[in-house]
Amino acid sequence: MNPDSSSAAGTFEQVFGAPPQGVWAAPGRVNLIGEHTDYNAGFVMPLALPHATVAAVSRRDDGVLALASDGMPGGPAELRTDTLAPGVRPDWTAYPAGVVWALREAGHTVGGACVSVTSTVPAGAGLSSSAALEVATALALNDLYALGLTREELATLCRRAENAYVGVPSGIMDQMASACCTAGHVLHLDTRDLIRRQVPFDLAAAGLRLLVIDTRVTHDLADGGYAERRAACTEAAAALGAGSLREIPHEGLADALGRLPDARLRRAARHVVTENRRVERVVELLDAGRPRDIGPVLDAGHVSLRDDFRVSCPELDLATGAARAAGALGARMTGGGFGGSALALVEAASAETVGRAVTGAFAAAGYRTPRVFEAVASAGARRLDAGVPG
């Protein structure tokens, strides 16, 4: 599972016939709490997974971007950097090509590159393989072209690549998580201004574990469900005369709900406003050294996503319900929803029992076998090899 610089370099050499100039890694993430808040200028709390996307990269100055992934069949795709345009290639290459496009649009010199990608982040599981791919590419180009961009600037450009080039209207959480998380911490991020704090998150020391349950139900954030939820949030904020739902304080929620014209907008507003409060509550509890007590807050987050925001699905409800029934301290869906992954906070001693209970419940329901693994807060994006000076 750990990203391996030499095997990524070996794969690059097989594809491109020479060793890479460097190897970079960017992790997937799981969001502890703060869901569907990042496009409402609200709070999120992701941690980086040990699973990462590794990009072995060499610079080339002939205007060609050559892209290969061990997860994708066929030889490298070759694109010309000066003809990159949104919507031209609606396949996986749009993610790294979009990064090059966004960098060039922002006025940075990126002539070309050979990129070979290997990854241990499951794609489409709500664990942000897309941001891992973008951020690994961006960090490599930042070093190889000596662009001098900060992690925040790289994350912002990667988000632009995903929004404008790939065409997925996601918020900034995934890219900031992959670029800025640090080992042993969960990232408390204010998506309004990107102010952030690394909150210590050493569950093992407290005798706890965080389990991720990948339901293996594939979601598609580009489909209507996500866009429809975003639209409801925008409409609700506008109806309240606010720039975003972030501006509605928790104390003012009852008043705000009374001013909204229909149930759809009320449900959207109630989820976002209460979810922002839940993030603050989890930060308070972690700072107070009470990690067990975040369990009920995670549970409440799931109920809000299921009943108000309506982005859960039977597999996510079963995963969280079975985990709780088997002794989890709290469980919630994580990521955009409509499939993807759930997480469960468990006593270390009951981790196996909970994992078995969830797997058994899926088998009994006739669902695909879920993938259950532990999320240990890991490092954010980084260069893996000593390599040439960047």
The token pair that represents 293 in the structure block: 């007590």
Chosen from ligand ADP, Mg ion, none, partner binding at 116 (C-beta under 5 to 8 Å by type): none
Phi and psi at residue 135, to the nearest 5°: -70, -40
> Does residue number 300 form part of the binding site for ligand ADP (CB under 6 A)?
no
Beta carbon nearer to Mg ion, 58 or 170:
170
| Minimal distance, residue 130 CB to Mg ion, in Å | 3
* Residue 334 in the binding site for ligand ADP (CB under 6 A): no
Cα–Cα distance, 247 to 40 (Å, whole number): 9
Count, residues near ligand ADP per rule CB under 6 A: 18
Residue 50 lies near ligand ADP (rule: CB under 6 A): no
Least distance in Å: CB of 174 to Mg ion?
A: 6
| Greatest distance between any 2 Cα atoms in the chain | 65
Site map 219..238 versus ligand ADP, x via CB under 6 A? --x-----------------
Yes or no: say if 256 and 248 are a contact pair by the CB < 8 Å rule.
yes
Q: Give me the long-range contacts of 152-158 (CB less than 8 A, separation at least 24).
A: 152/176, 152/179, 152/180, 152/194, 154/179, 155/179, 155/180, 156/194, 157/99, 157/102, 157/103, 157/106, 158/99, 158/102, 158/131, 158/134
* 299 labelled catalytic: no
Q: Residue 255, Cα to own-chain centre: how many angstroms?
A: 33
In the bound state with ligand ADP, the residue whose beta carbon lies nearer, of 24 and 92, is: 92
Residue 350 structure tokens = 């009951």
Residue (58 or 69) nearer to ligand ADP, CB: 69
In angstroms, rounded to a whole number, what is the distance separating the alpha carbons of residues 266 and 260?
A: 6
Binding-site partner at residue 123 among Mg ion, ligand ADP, none, CB < 5 to 8 Å by type: ligand ADP
Question: Which 75-114 residues touch ligand ADP, going by CB under 6 A?
Answer: 92, 95
Position 23 contacts ligand ADP (CB under 6 A): no
Q: CA 288: distance to chain centroid? A: 26
- Considering only residues 66, 113, 133, 305, which one is a binding residue for ligand ADP as defined by CB under 6 A? 133
The interface region with ligand ADP, picked from 82-90, 121-129, 200-208, 314-322 by CB under 6 A, is 121-129
Question: Which single residue is written with the structure tokens 């489909």?
Answer: 223
Residues lying near Mg ion in the complex (CB under 5 A)? 130
CA-wise closest residue to 104 among 135, 69, 147? 147
Q: In the bound complex, what is the minimum distance in angstroms from residue 161's beta carbon to ligand ADP?
A: 12
Query: Which residue sits closest to Mg ion, CB atoms considered?
Result: 130
3-state secondary structure (DSSP) of residue 26: strand
**Stretch of 115-123, 147-155, 182-190, 277-285 contacting ligand ADP, by CB under 6 A:** 115-123
Given the residues 38, 143, 174, 299, the one annotated as active site: 174
Describe the crossing of helices 295-303 and 263-287 by its angle, rounded to 10 degrees: 170
Distance CA 98, CA 164 (A): 8
Chosen from ligand ADP, Mg ion, none, partner binding at 337 (C-beta under 5 to 8 Å by type): none
Three-state secondary-structure class, residue 87: coil
> Which CB atom, from 133 or from 203, has the smaller least distance to Mg ion?
133
Q: Which residues are catalytic?
A: 174
Binding site for ligand ADP (CB under 6 A): 53, 69, 71-72, 92, 95, 117, 119, 123-130, 133, 221
